[in-house]
Copies of this chain bind each other. A is one copy, B any other.
Amino acid sequence: MNKKICGSLADKLHSRGFGRRKGKCVELSWEEMAYLAEKKIIDEDFSDVVGKASSSISNFDIRYLAYRDLRDRGYVLSVGNGYFKGRKNYAMDFYPISDMDEFSVDDMRNKEFPLILAVVDFDGETTYYLVELINPEGKYHILPEEKIDLEFHGNRAFSFEGIKSLEERTYGKDEGTWGHLSLLEVSYLAEKGILDNTPIMESDIYLVYRDLRNRGLIVKSGFKYGTHFRVYERSMDEHSKYLVHLISKREEIQKISRAVRVAHGVKKNLLLAYPDNGDILYFKFSWIRP
């Protein structure tokens, strides 16, 4: 049972965003109680509150550390069931999670975007990720025209003529007297009718490649950044805009944190792509410091 506070203290607390109004009283969540007890604004023993809260909520330590960090930064938050509702700059839901937790696509389905993940690490520090669901769009819809002869060796297609005209249209690598394409590129060009007699990949990674290309984006390997793809919006003369990584239904939040950090360091946007019944969901993750 959470605590109810009535009278003038209730008004004061409510004006500062604490508690839920119930007539002349406010009902406090465990996070709020602990915070107000720690700051000695209500007459409760902090250690008692932490003990009781922890026995009724399994991840109270995580929730409290995130709540406290935000409050101490001056944020006014109201507390929902497992999330905090922000105001002003971040008028969205904050979800406190542990660095040992996973990012679950299914958990995200019924959520309102944008949202913020507040990840508490084992030192008790909180890192914030703004998560948006977006539809990336590019401006590059040009396809090669000429058909070429290919030989398949390993995971690659070889042409023993140059493929300069393909490379100019962002497909394959021309090496002068010969050239090579990845199976992703080959599959896509085959689906578009540019190549004949070519097997078409059926893997999730190809579904993401195809979807990005269909959206007018130029897709190249993201290996140097540790992601599946780097993606250009208009032309390869510009810097790539997105790093795109195919994810499974559940991913370690730590793995995502690493990808966000890489993207942040090179000033690109990180998109996590999840193939979902014919569509691809793109979760954009940004590291923020609220």
Contact = CB atoms under 8 A, between A and B. Distances in A.
A260 B226 contact: yes
A259 B123 contact: no
A213 interface: no
Interface stretch (A16-24, A81-89, A109-117, A173-181): A173-181
23 contacts: A47-B151, A47-B158, A47-B178, A51-B151, A54-B154, A60-B154, A61-B180, A65-B180, A100-B155, A122-B223, A123-B182, A123-B221, A124-B173, A124-B182, A125-B223, A127-B223, A224-B261, A225-B258, A226-B260, A226-B261, A255-B255, A258-B258, A262-B265
**Interface SS of chain A: helix, strand, loop or mixed?**
mixed
Number of copies: 2
Interface of A: 38, 46-47, 50-51, 54, 58-62, 65, 98-100, 119, 121-125, 127, 151, 153-156, 158, 160, 173, 177-178, 180, 182-184, 220-221, 223-228, 254-262, 265-266
Contacts of A61: 153-156, 158, 180
A123 B260 CA distance: 23
A16 to B, nearest CB: 20
B38 A178 contact: yes
A125 B221 contact: yes
Nearest to A179: B124
A158 B49 CA distance: 12
Contact of A265 (B62, B98, B227, B266): B266
B226 A257 contact: yes
Contacts of A225: 257-258, 261
Contacts of A220: 123
Given A62-B154, A122-B182, A227-B258, 19 more contacts: A47-B151, A50-B151, A51-B153, A54-B153, A60-B154, A61-B156, A61-B158, A99-B223, A119-B223, A122-B221, A127-B223, A224-B257, A225-B258, A225-B261, A226-B256, A226-B260, A258-B258, A261-B265, A262-B262
Contacts of A156: 61, 122, 124
Name which of A54, A58, A183, A260 has the most chain B CB atoms within 10 A of its CB. Answer: A54
